[in-house]
Amino acid sequence: MGSWLALLLWCGYWWPRSVAVALLGAGLIAGGAGLQLGTQMLMMRAVLRRRGVPLPSAMIALRAWLSEWRWAWRLFGWQIPFGEHAEPDGVPVDREGMQVQGLVQGQVGVVLVHGYFCNRGVWTVWLRRLKSRGIACMAMTLEPAHGSSVDAMVDDLDRCVKAMVQQTGCAPLLVAHSMGGLVVRAWLKRLDANERARHAAHVVTVATPHGGAWLARFAQRLPAVEMREGSDWLQRLGPPPEDVPFSCWCSSSDNIVFPPDQAVLPNAQRHQVDDAAHMQLLFDPRVWQHCLQLQAQLQGRLQERYQAAEGGASAADAGARACGS
């Protein structure tokens, strides 16, 4: 919002006096995000080189930088400050916009968890696409956003997951970006084995600093301080429970979480790409397709469990009984 205000004031003052100066200043303001992201990219490559980690080519890094710049303007310039509630949570709807309750019971829903300096507005595209495919989905805004521990955000996640389970009767798939993956792990740590079985079918983390973030060394406030490499908080968090499967996505061009190993948990399914930056990875078609396929697999397993026990029931009833079994 500050960038938009600065752009408006600059152009409002200079345009009547000098169009050239107005355009030059507007270009510098618009380029501020690109300069910051470019600096992060250069720092990332320096750290990878120092730690002996293979680097993506300069052309791949350039394309990732440009794409991340575009996403930064779209997300931080519009969706996050102005579109937090643009796309509501929901269950499948028919052509008249009415909820189709029969498709909800027995369905593996999707719970979306945003990262640091974001809110649920970052998931607008995901929510719209999931609902168009008839998949129940929910996203929350984690609060307090600044000045408090990651642990303080767990309650918002807990309420959202329980609301999903109440609607579907099934443990959902959780998809978490960046810091959101740490919130999920802190939440799982609070639950016993039975609660985890009822509330978490699978967790997909995208660019989550499981091993900490090198850039967090410059942070002075919570929760960013807790995301420093080797922080006391990460040490206390410990490994995730073995009874909840994880899939971890990382990228060699991630300008926030690097090296890529920092975004991967031991014993988790590892998915690594070379050509996507931090926010860009969240909208990568490969991540989207993976989550769709995973939701379908989880749904199929529920159906198989029920069909192995009883035959002849409807699909919705079969899923509902499988969830409750």
**b/e per residue, 260-293, with b = 16+ CB within 10 A?**
bebbbbeebebbebebbbbbbbbbbeebbebbbe
What does the pLDDT look like over 165-221, one tens digit per residue? Answer: 999 999 999 999 999 999 999 999 999 999 999 999 999 999 999 999 999 999 999
Give the CATH number for residue 272: 3.40.50.1820
Q: Which residue has the higher pLDDT, 25 or 166?
A: 166
Q: Do residues 65 and 214 share a domain?
A: no
Both tokens of residue 115?
């990262």
Q: Do residues 130 and 242 share a domain?
A: yes
| Any domain includes 151 | yes
Alpha-carbon Rg of the chain, whole angstroms?
21
Residue 38 has pLDDT above 50, yes or no: yes
Q: Do residues 141 and 48 share a domain?
A: no
Q: Do residues 127 and 44 share a domain?
A: no
| Any domain includes 317 | no
| Any domain includes 118 | yes
SS3 category, 45: helix
Q: Give the model's confidence band at 96: pLDDT under 50 very low, under 70 low, under 90 confident, else very high.
A: low
| Any domain includes 130 | yes
Average pLDDT on 115-139 reads 95
Q: Do residues 245 and 191 share a domain?
A: yes
Alpha-helical (H) ranges within the chain are 2-14, 19-30, 32-50, 58-74, 80-82, 124-132, 154-168, 179-190, 193-199, 232-237, 278-282, 285-309, 315-324
Instruction: Give yes or no for a contact between 157 and 184, defined as CB atoms under 8 angstroms apart.
Output: yes
Instruction: Give yes or no for a contact between 298 and 202, defined as CB atoms under 8 angstroms apart.
Output: yes
Q: Do residues 42 and 121 share a domain?
A: no
Q: For the chain, how many structural domains are there in total?
A: 2
298: which DSSP letter?
H
| Any domain includes 322 | no
Q: Do residues 134 and 53 share a domain?
A: no
Residue 95 has pLDDT above 60, yes or no: no
Q: Do residues 10 and 157 share a domain?
A: no
| Any domain includes 105 | no
Determine the length of the chain.
Answer: 325
Q: Which domain holds residue 172?
A: 110-302
Q: Do residues 160 and 297 share a domain?
A: yes
Q: Do residues 37 and 150 share a domain?
A: no
Q: Do residues 144 and 273 share a domain?
A: yes
Residues 6+ apart with CB under 8 A from 62: none
Average pLDDT on 214-235 reads 95
Amino acid identity, residue 270?
R
pLDDT computed for residue 102 by the predictor: 55
pLDDT computed for residue 325 by the predictor: 47
